[in-house]
Amino acid sequence: MYRIVLAEDHTLVRAGIKKIVEDYADLQVVGEAGDGLELLELLKTLDADLVILDISMPKMPGIEVAKEIKRSYPGVKILILTMHKMKEYLNDAIAAGVDGYLLKEDLAKELGSAISKIRQGKTYISSLLSNEMTSLFVQRLRLAPARPVEPLTPREIEIIKLIAEGKSSREIADLLFLSFRTIQNHRTRIMRKLNLKKNTDLVKYAIQMGFIPTSGV
């Protein structure tokens, strides 16, 4: 049985959610709360798999409640229930670590699907907000710092120098007393680390980094 706690300050809305939930034989409402602080106290006394949480809660905002739940009960899933369609609310909820974001107008037709997806370890976003979610994802990618280049090992730098000097993998293997396959593996790893495609790019990199003098090329 999948145990659910409802956190919604409007009694009639809570009753409606409970009715939908209990239409599913494997779902059970094990607790109800009318404000954020009451919910946190309730979670101390019972085991829950999922909290369905209104984003606008008395005494403690739903986003803050979600953050506290994730800190204190990391195994408990959270489905935010809200009337807010603004991207800022969705962004704050995702940043807080919630597992789903469902608009109240989608409640009757999507609650079952939302719970099912969350139970599978996935994130559910209300179908009406799919475009906003895509936009948020793109924004995060654009704002994320560029992935730093993985540092090269002394051996890899040594191999770069020899490649830049025009040595073949076979020649480098003989010089360094390594196998041809080992040199090829090093070469592949170096190119991947530096995101380079051609030997000429590798030579340019070696010059830029001062591994070889410009007059040597």
Q: Which strands sit side by side in the sheet containing 2-7, from one edge to the other?
A: 27-33, 2-7, 50-54, 77-82, 100-103, 124-125
Q: Quick check: do 2-143 and 154-216 share a fold?
A: no
> What is the average pLDDT score of the chain?
86
- Residue 136 to residue 163: CA distance in whole angstroms: 43
- Greatest mean pLDDT range, 106-110, 137-141, 147-151: 106-110
Closest CA to 27 of 86, 88, 136, 111: 111
Give, in words, the CATH class of 154-216: mainly alpha
Q: In this predicted model, what pLDDT tens digit does every residue of 179-204 receive, in sequence order?
A: 999 999 998 988 888 888 887 888 88
Determine whether domain 2-143 maps to CATH 3.40.50.2300: yes
- Residue 80 to residue 51: CA distance in whole angstroms: 8
DSSP 133-147: HHHHHHHHHHHSPPP
Residue 66 has pLDDT above 60, yes or no: yes
Q: In this predicted model, what pLDDT tens digit does every residue of 16-46 receive, in sequence order?
A: 999 999 999 999 999 999 999 999 999 999 9
Angle made by CA atoms 91, 95, 98, in degrees to the nearest 5: 100
Task: Over range 138-153, report the average pLDDT.
Answer: 58
Closest CA to 194 of 179, 180, 209: 209
Task: Over range 116-140, report the average pLDDT.
Answer: 74
Question: Can you give the pLDDT at residue 143?
Answer: 53
- Residue 48 to residue 75: CA distance in whole angstroms: 9
- Residue 135 to residue 66: CA distance in whole angstroms: 23
Task: Give the dihedral of Cα atoms 158, 164, 166, 170; nearest 10 deg.
Answer: 40
- Greatest mean pLDDT range, 45-49, 121-125, 212-216: 45-49
Question: Can you give the pLDDT at residue 150?
Answer: 60
Question: Can you give the pLDDT at residue 140?
Answer: 54
Q: Look at the alpha carbons of 56, 61, 67, 72 in this order and tell me if their dihedral is positive or negative.
A: negative
- Residue 120 sits at φ, ψ, to 5 deg, of -85, 0
- pTM for this predicted structure: 0.62
Residue 207 has pLDDT above 90, yes or no: no
The domain ranges of the chain are 2-143, 154-216
Question: Can you give the pLDDT at residue 59?
Answer: 87
- Residue 158 to residue 113: CA distance in whole angstroms: 56
Residue 217 has pLDDT above 70, yes or no: no
Residue 151 has pLDDT above 80, yes or no: no
